C-alpha cells in the first residue's frame, strides 16, 4: 500500500490513493488477516475516513474529528495545548463550511473551565501564486507592500461588529473576523515534501 500510494499520480487519476479501488482491495485483504485489536481499530478508522470523504458527508466527518479530539480530552484538559488543523476547522464560531467545528468545541471546553483559547488563522502565498490568488482576504492584504510577515489583530474588528460600528457584507469575511483572534499572512509558504508524483 505504501509503495502503491507513493507511485500514485493524482494528476492522471484525479483522486487520492485512499479513494482508489486498489486501496480498498488492500484494506479488505488486511481485514481478513489476524490483526491486533489496535490494528483493526486503525483500519476501520481508515475505512470510515475513506467513506466520509467519498460521500462528501462533511458534517459526519467533523463529528468524527470531534469524537477523536474528545477521546484525548483527559490528555489535554487544563493544560496549555496547540491544536493544528486546517483553518476551516478552527474558528470559535461557525466555520467557513457552515458547521460548528473543532475550534468551536475547544473554545467551549476552555470557556467551561474558565480559560480562553486563542485562534490564529494562517494564510500565505504558495510557489507561483500572487496576492490575487488570495482574493477572499483582499481586505487585509491591501496593506502588504513587502516580503514581511503580517499579523492582524481581529479582536477590535469583532468588537466593532458587535457594537454595530462596522458592517461586513461578506459572510465569509465576517466568519473569519468573528472566529479568529489573529490572522497571519506569510508571503512565501513552504510546501510539504511530495510523495510520488502527486501535487497534493
Q: What are 4-60's pLDDT values in tens digits?
A: 888 887 667 667 888 888 899 999 999 999 999 999 999 998 888 888 778 777 788
Flag whether 114 is in a domain.
no
Flag whether 165 is in a domain.
no
Flag whether 72 is in a domain.
no
Contact between 142 and 154 under an 8 Å Cβ cutoff? The reply is no
d(CA 8, CA 155): 44
The pTM of the full predicted model, rounded to 2 decimals, is 0.73
Flag whether 37 is in a domain.
yes
Flag whether 42 is in a domain.
yes
Flag whether 185 is in a domain.
no
Tell me how long the chain is: 200
Flag whether 74 is in a domain.
no
Contact between 76 and 85 under an 8 Å Cβ cutoff? The reply is no
Flag whether 50 is in a domain.
yes
Overall number of domains in the chain: 1
For 32, the domain range is 1-9+16-56
> How confident is residue 175, by pLDDT bands cut at 50, 70 and 90?
very high
All three cell numbers of 6, joined, read 507513493
Amino acid at each position: 500500500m505504501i509503495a502503491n500510494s507513493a507511485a500514485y499520480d493524482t494528476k492522471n487519476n484525479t483522486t487520492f490513493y485512499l479513494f482508489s479501488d486498489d486501496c480498498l482491495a488492500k484494506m479488505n485483504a488486511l481485514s481478513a488477516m489476524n490483526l491486533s485489536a489496535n490494528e483493526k481499530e486503525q483500519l476501520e478508522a481508515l475505512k470510515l475516513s475513506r467513506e466520509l470523504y467519498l460521500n462528501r458527508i462533511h458534517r459526519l466527518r467533523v463529528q468524527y474529528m470531534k469524537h477523536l479530539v474528545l477521546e484525548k480530552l483527559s490528555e489535554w484538559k487544563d493544560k496549555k495545548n496547540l491544536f493544528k488543523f486546517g483553518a476551516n476547522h478552527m474558528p470559535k464560531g461557525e466555520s467557513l463550511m457552515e458547521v460548528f467545528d473543532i475550534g468551536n468545541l475547544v473554545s467551549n471546553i476552555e470557556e467551561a473551565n474558565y480559560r480562553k483559547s486563542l485562534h490564529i488563522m494562517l494564510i500565505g502565498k504558495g510557489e507561483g501564486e500572487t496576492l490575487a490568488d488570495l482574493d477572499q482576504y483582499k481586505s487585509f492584504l491591501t496593506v502588504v507592500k513587502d516580503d514581511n510577515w503580517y499579523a492582524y489583530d481581529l479582536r477590535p474588528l469583532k468588537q466593532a461588529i458587535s457594537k454595530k460600528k462596522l458592517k461586513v457584507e461578506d459572510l465569509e469575511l465576517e466568519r473569519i473576523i468573528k472566529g479568529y483572534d489573529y490572522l497571519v499572512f506569510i508571503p512565501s509558504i513552504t510546501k510539504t515534501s511530495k510523495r510520488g508524483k502527486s501535487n497534493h
